[in-house]
Amino acid sequence: MEVVLRNLTKKFPGRDRKKREDVIAVNDFNFVIPDGKLIGLLGPSGCGKSTTLNLISGLLKPTSGRIFFGGDDVTDLPPENRGIGLVFQNYALYPHLTVKQNILFPLQNLKGKDKLSKREMLEKANEAARLVQIEELMESKPAELSGGQQQRVAIARALVKMPMVLLLDEPLSNLDARLRLQTREEIRRIQRKTGITTIFVTHDQEEAMSISDMIVVMKDGIVQQIGKPQEVYDSPVNLFVARFLGTPPINLFEGRAKDNQLYIGEDAVLRVKGIADQEVFVGIRPEGFILQENGPLCCALGGVEVMGRDISVVSQNKASLSQSIRAIVGAEHLEKIGKTYAAGYGEKGPDGDRAM
């Protein structure tokens, strides 16, 4: 189901009543969420992600603008008539009900022609449980389950009516790092299998980048950039987006474009075409560096952090640069870093001595 937001705006009365200034939580959003895709709404806390989701779900009414599902205007429909499934950060399971009863719950309120027989309800509940792989937990109570299992139950409950649109609000935030990764892959698998258009809210850029077909980067209620994760990462439209995506963060230098060269300090670092001579920001992702003796930006290498097969290197400040550089290079370069490596890394140094 394609979801379209047109001129969507939500204002809340400001906290300071005297000033009477509204908070514009969602400011004139216009975008299309294509059918069957998983979209990440990404931005720092308070940028309007949950408000956007709540507008799409119908839990909130917009101040202005319209929402369309598959071409139909749903703006005035209540949540229960929109064909959506909702999953929140805190699972929101009924503690006194078993897993099976929790999953059955949304089916028990169906009325009129939608009403199901007991057998049909059970079939649907079992199917949803199979999808999220919790069949063996059907008779357990939520308190007996891990956070990851509880979140799967919440997802099964959201899926049991086979919604046209699945809305997930920070669904992984309460899980520890390992479960977060596992559940994230699980959500991706389920989304691919069902083909349900899914909107996933997160403040975690890595999470959004890894799970989404498309990300919407937001700040202060304003959409900054929409695109495939790699596109947004490689070609951010502004400094905010450049800084918000990527760990370790992008290296940003104040530089200059002159005679078709980009300069950082005195160093010409890149040949460019079609940029008029001017002051610019030069952004270099940590993985964009190669270690090269006497190359541009040449400087001593300082602290080292080992990250799996790669190492993250922080340069010592170079006189002509106002900042250090963080680069990620292959572990084969450890040799070049020698002593500094031994000093910065608490295990065995390259010469077999225990460091520090």
Look up residue 138 and give its two tokens: 């059907």
**Quick one: which H or E segment has residue 200?**
strand 197-202
- Is 160 or 167 the residue whose CB approaches ligand ADP more closely? 167
Cβ-Cβ contacts under 8 Å for 84 (sequence gap 6 or more): 56, 57, 58, 163, 164, 165, 166, 167
CB of 198 to ligand ADP, least distance (A): 17
CB of 317 to ligand ADP, least distance (A): 36
CB of 61 to ligand ADP, least distance (A): 12
The residue written with tokens 């139909």 in the block is: 72
CB of 48 to ligand ADP, least distance (A): 4
Considering only CA atoms, which of 190, 189, 219 is closest in space to residue 205?
Answer: 219
Residue 195 CA to residue 241 CA, distance in Å, equals 29
216 interacts with ligand ADP by CB under 6 A: no
Considering only CA atoms, which of 47, 45, 20, 3 is closest in space to residue 218?
Answer: 47
- Is 27 or 140 the residue whose CB approaches ligand ADP more closely? 27
Tell me whether strands 326-330 and 84-87 are parallel, antiparallel or unpaired. unpaired
Contact predicate 182/189, CB 8 Å: no
Binding letters toward ligand ADP, positions 293-332, x by CB under 6 A = ----------------------------------------
Considering only CA atoms, which of 4, 160, 182 is closest in space to residue 84?
Answer: 160
Contact predicate 340/302, CB 8 Å: yes
Contact predicate 311/335, CB 8 Å: no
- Is 12 or 281 the residue whose CB approaches ligand ADP more closely? 12
- Is 219 or 326 the residue whose CB approaches ligand ADP more closely? 219
CB of 43 to ligand ADP, least distance (A): 6
- Is 16 or 279 the residue whose CB approaches ligand ADP more closely? 16
- Amino acid 123 reads E
- Is 24 or 321 the residue whose CB approaches ligand ADP more closely? 24
CB of 11 to ligand ADP, least distance (A): 9
CB of 4 to ligand ADP, least distance (A): 20
- Is 16 or 114 the residue whose CB approaches ligand ADP more closely? 16
Residue 239 CA to residue 274 CA, distance in Å, equals 21
Q: Which of residues 11-70 bind ligand ADP (CB under 6 A)?
A: 12, 23, 25, 43, 45-51
**Footprint on this chain of ligand ADP (rule: CB under 6 A):** 12, 23, 25, 43, 45-51
